[in-house]
Amino acid sequence: MFFLRRRFLRRFLPRHASPLLPAAENHIFPESFFGADHEIRRRSQPVAMQTNPETQPQGALLPMSTRAEKFAGLSVAIVTPFRDGGIDTKRLHEQVDFQAKAGVTCICPVGTTGESPTLTHDEHERVIAESIQAAAGRLLVMPGTGSNSTAEAIRLTKFAAKAGANAALVVGPYYNRPTQQGIYEHFKAIAESVDIPICVYNIPARTGRNIEPETIIRLASLPGIAMLKEATGSMDQASQILAATDLTVLSGDDSMTLPLLAIGGRGVVSVVGNLVPADMKALLDAFDKGDLATARRLHVKLFTLCRDLLGLASNPIPIKAAMAMVGRDTGDVRLPLISLEAPLAAKLRQVLADYGLAVTKA
């Protein structure tokens, strides 16, 4: 899937890169690790992209499979709904149903969008368990289980695996600013503690420390490291990783989805998907089919909405406000986050209306 036209490869790949995806030493994973319908292997030799004239559009290219292809496509970082100071379980199940009906690939509860920093340990585990129960096999579940304490990250990841999660989204350790070797040892310990795939989440704007490409390439040699949620905003860094590994790379920024797809990314962990999953899925599907004109049109359509959902205030303040404005209220954010201030709320309301969403009266 994700057919890349030659002109797109020439335009977006660095001059030193090749439209091949070299990998390290051969390693074949058990089918149960990612699902029996996907053979996951690391190849000792580069495999060129090939065309299949019988099934692919003329000029489209079929890239070799990445390590966790079943997670390619649209994942949605869902919000955590609150009511009367606690978790609103009923609304959480409604959210999961909404995403399942929209046909998304995966949901990612208890991440940044899910306000994991202000959840108690019990609440964090409860949201993971309830999300898996609500998904009921209709979509994949990849909860956030990261921490700046390796022991705590292992504990949470083990809980998620035991509860039936399909993978774990693990953010880089924040605040304590470990060295690159420390980051490597952190993820290695987590990956070796469970038998579900790990998605490394690199977002230096929040963690205070970039996971350098060389460190991610080292991590890719570990069987349990399967994906990267790329939120550095650096196409050079993403290109270096994509050229050197077979990791499944997902965009961590909605507005960077199309550029990342163009260099070999396989999908997005989306915030805007809480509101309009069909439109983001349509963008991914259009690119998948080689329909670049439609993909670009949807990128432009989504851009202002994506920008303001992440730029008006800290995530998830704007997305929770937007969901309330379209009749899907998920409660307030928790301190130290505060509700969107009135002038910004008015701007967001106008953005939603301009997009074509039915907005309730203020």
Domains and CATH numbers, the chain: 69-296 (3.20.20.70)
pLDDT of residue 16: 35
Q: Which of 70, 184, 201, 320 is the catalytic position?
A: 201
Other beta carbons within 10 angstroms of residue 93's beta carbon come to 17
Over the stretch 86-143, which tens digit does the pLDDT of each residue have? 999 999 999 999 999 999 999 999 999 999 999 999 999 999 999 999 999 999 999 9
Residues of the chain with pLDDT under 50: 1-56, 58-59, 61-62
Per the DSSP assignment, residues forming a β-bridge with 74 are 268
pLDDT of residue 55: 44
pLDDT of residue 54: 45
**Phi, psi (deg, nearest 5) at residue 249:** -100, 125
Distance (Å, rounded) from C-alpha 333 to C-alpha 321? 9
Q: Which of 70, 188, 229, 281 is the catalytic position?
A: 229
> pTM for the complete prediction?
0.84
Q: Which of 169, 171, 174, 170 has its CA nearest to residue 207?
A: 174
pLDDT of residue 338: 97
Written as six digits, the tokens of 139 are: 């979509």
Note if 201 is an active site residue.
Answer: yes
pLDDT of residue 155: 98
Note if 162 is an active site residue.
Answer: no
pLDDT of residue 35: 44
| Sheet architecture: strand order including 140-141 | 140-141, 106-107, 73-76, 267-270, 248-251, 225-230, 198-202, 168-171
pLDDT of residue 64: 56
pLDDT of residue 354: 94
